[in-house]
Structure 1
């Protein structure tokens, strides 16, 4: 047995080793949280699709684009949608009180423009716009697409093929198209978001979360679960809708966009990136299953610990520097392997990992402070209060949408 003096002398070193082994274990857990995100793909010629959906008799689809101040991004989306798939019967842009030329740009690109009725205070702008788009269309399949998405010629067909195969809710996380250095900071938040859904785990658990840039479902299923208006005040409307589908027994699929669906997530600058991730990070954490959330927290904590250990390595016991360097390299390789599945991030999330970790911690702290403490975030110039799903009565309809006559 060690004497008191020996314990005092060796105690800190044992604590360091305990932290090192714990961090290594959390690193291994990271691979269970994010191994491979299945990609949306075009079926091979002659490939049989196992049809479990019974809605395929009428294949018409409506594309609904909720848009607020999206004049700059709409031409890319609407241009990419033109003539992509004969099943697309309607393309509707819902102008959510834009202050720019969103409506005229959408109309010039060949889309039908719809203006929602007055939005009730308990509904968020995107929820109300999506519900308005559903009411303004008649096609049996619905595809909700954000204005900053770009669709490859075969992309929408692949989404509709997958929907015809699985039914339920099909969600696509577009491939991040990175053009400016600050956009690299989305790598870690995007990785953590995918970890939280379980979509990239080796065992593919039943999912109850989704990504909102592209969602597809059958109209009958959408109406069965109450649609977006089942939770009108949802800040993360994609997560709320996926939870409704799962609760009612419908499957939820999450796919990576790969070469078929991509976007620039926050092209307007670092302020937009901070606003967007502030809105989504803590909200998504609150919707994650407890055991999975614990595993994600362990991975993030170990990642942070490895960066601190690397910085403190020169002051640590003799074996600590090698451990710190090795562990940091292991995390850097892991982050690089995960990030490259999600977008064109390149090597920078790995090479500048301490900067990315610091940025993620700051974003998450801000998200908790605004969503949990202050209960309000700002998005696209609007203050959005954070409400629980049971905070108010379910809205039945978005009202009779009016075509924009301008």
Structure 2
């Protein structure tokens, strides 16, 4: 029997839907491992205007099963109460608050802060945690044990904890960012919010000085490790570490994803990018066709809403299942055309800012080139 153009289109969408399951198969959580031995650990936290989030991280560090040698909060010239919050939330931690010298030309704020923090530290193992992360009690032990087992650089992408309605719009950014890269042992990918490395391997890679000007320093730091023959491994943080991204409002969320989108897209390996684009094209089709068939909008293919409803439901179920490991997205998988529109809007804005060459972030001009 000869298939019509509509039939072929339906088969194509189903294949792209199946591709989504294939892309999500490698979302591996950080394993819970026992330490080979208990090393001295320096925890380094870059913090610029993080008064609303820092106390969650320090409370989590105080409850760790592996207690660090030192916790160094690098106050990156904050204009809010970050320094006071750090001192008030020490909770018995061996905490030091330091401030780097003024930002020199050729450096990003985060890379300069962490470079300075490492120079002030003394642990055998360096753990870098973003100030908005919220670790479970076993995070440090699991992360350091995995670094002992694998060597090189080990990182974790935190589970995205959402509270307010606008945060649901970030669903696709979280999901695509993980689908577009390989994960697991020796995958070659690093996530900046939570990373662990031995001091020896850090120095051998060139450290943050080698990626001084990079906005997405984690990606390029991973390259530096690989160039030195050191493994780079990455996992998801479901059950181990969470964060609430951009609690400052919708504007912060747009600019934050915009700068990461514009600077990191070129680093994704093309086979993975092609697979993600194919999956997204099926998702975009499903997001358009059901409303179009119901509302009489221009439509390519069968105008019957029943078939489009089945495809829409299949993608909604897929998003509900996959995002459970990535973040707390309650309603956005069910009304995914709204996050799709938001994703496309930020993507177009990222292209504009890529041409413009910069975005404004936390009071600084950040290069997108």
Q: TM-score, normalised by structure 2?
A: 0.91
Tell me if structure 2 keeps the 8 A contact 1:59–1:87: no
Q: Deviations over 1:54-74 (max 9, x none)?
A: xx6x71110000000112211
Tell me if structure 1 keeps the 8 A contact 2:207–2:221: yes
CA RMSD of aligned residues (A): 2.2
Query: 3-state DSSP class of the match of 1:215?
Result: strand
Using the alignment, how far apart are the partners of 2:12 and 2:355 within structure 1?
31
Tell me if structure 2 keeps the 8 A contact 1:67–1:147: yes
Which of 50, 57, 79 matches 1:99?
Answer: 79
Q: Deviations over 1:50-99 (max 9, x none)?
A: x7xxxx6x711100000001122111111211152445101001111100
1:383 corresponding residue in structure 2:
365
Gaps of 5+ in 1: 3-12, 388-406
Q: Deviations over 1:25-65 (max 9, x none)?
A: 2221112211252212433xxx7x7x7xxxx6x71110000
1:374 corresponding residue in structure 2:
356
Deviation, 1:320, is 4.8
2:181 corresponding residue in structure 1:
197
1:123 corresponding residue in structure 2:
107
1:357 aligned onto 2:357: no
Q: Which contiguous aligned blocks of 4+ residues in structure 1 show a shift greater than 6 angstroms?
A: none
Tell me if structure 1 keeps the 8 A contact 2:293–2:303: no
1:73 corresponding residue in structure 2:
53
Deviates more, 1:237-246 or 1:218-227: 237-246
Q: How many residues align?
A: 360
2:319 corresponding residue in structure 1:
335
Tell me if structure 1 keeps the 8 A contact 2:286–2:308: yes
1:149 corresponding residue in structure 2:
133
Q: Which one has more relative contact order, counting CA pairs under 8 Å at least 6 apart?
A: 1
Deviation, 1:206, is 4.8
2:272 corresponding residue in structure 1:
292
1:5 corresponding residue in structure 2:
none
Matched ranges for 1:242-321 at <5 A: 242-313=222-293, 320-321=304-305
Using the alignment, how far apart are the partners of 1:205 and 1:133 within structure 2?
27
Which of 145, 155, 159 matches 1:175?
Answer: 159
Q: Deviations over 1:263-320 (max 9, x none)?
A: 1111111111111111112323211111111111111122112222223335566575
1:135 aligned onto 2:119: yes
Tell me if structure 1 keeps the 8 A contact 2:46–2:113: yes
Q: Deviations over 1:81-124 (max 9, x none)?
A: 11524451010011111001211221223321111122222111
Using the alignment, how far apart are the partners of 2:133 and 2:324 within structure 1?
19
Tell me if structure 2 keeps the 8 A contact 1:210–1:254: yes
Tell me if structure 1 keeps the 8 A contact 2:262–2:368: no
Q: TM-score, normalised by structure 1?
A: 0.83
Query: 3-state DSSP class of the match of 1:64?
Result: strand
Larger radius of gyration between Structure 1 and Structure 2: 1
Gaps of 5+ in 2: none
